[in-house]
């Protein structure tokens, strides 16, 4: 039987979580995609605030009017 000793100093102010590597890598992948999404969303909101983006449109006529401006 293998025994692992972990110092309490490593997780003194937080919880310790142990999980299989594959699950950890899946978790990291999800976190990275979420961070990318957050960054893209921030960029889109900034463009709307600057007036660089318009829409959504309820009809083709609204889109045409917007493009004519």
* Banded pLDDT at 16 (limits 50, 70, 90): confident
* Banded pLDDT at 21 (limits 50, 70, 90): very high
Q: Does the model's pTM come out above 0.85?
A: no
pLDDT in tens, 29-58: 988 888 788 888 888 888 878 877 677 778
Q: Are 44 and 53 in contact (CB under 8 A)?
A: yes
Whole-angstrom distance, CA of residue 42 vs CA of residue 38: 6
What does the pLDDT read at residue 3? 82
Whole-angstrom distance, CA of residue 43 vs CA of residue 34: 14
């Amino acid at each position: 039987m293998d025994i692992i000793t972990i110092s309490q100093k490593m997780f003194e102010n937080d919880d310790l979580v142990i999980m299989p590597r594959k699950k950890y890598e899946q978790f990291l992948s999800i976190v990275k995609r979420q961070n990318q999404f957050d960054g893209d969303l921030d960029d889109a909101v900034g463009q709307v605030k600057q007036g660089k983006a318009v829409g959504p449109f309820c009809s083709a006529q609204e889109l045409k009017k917007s493009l004519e401006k």
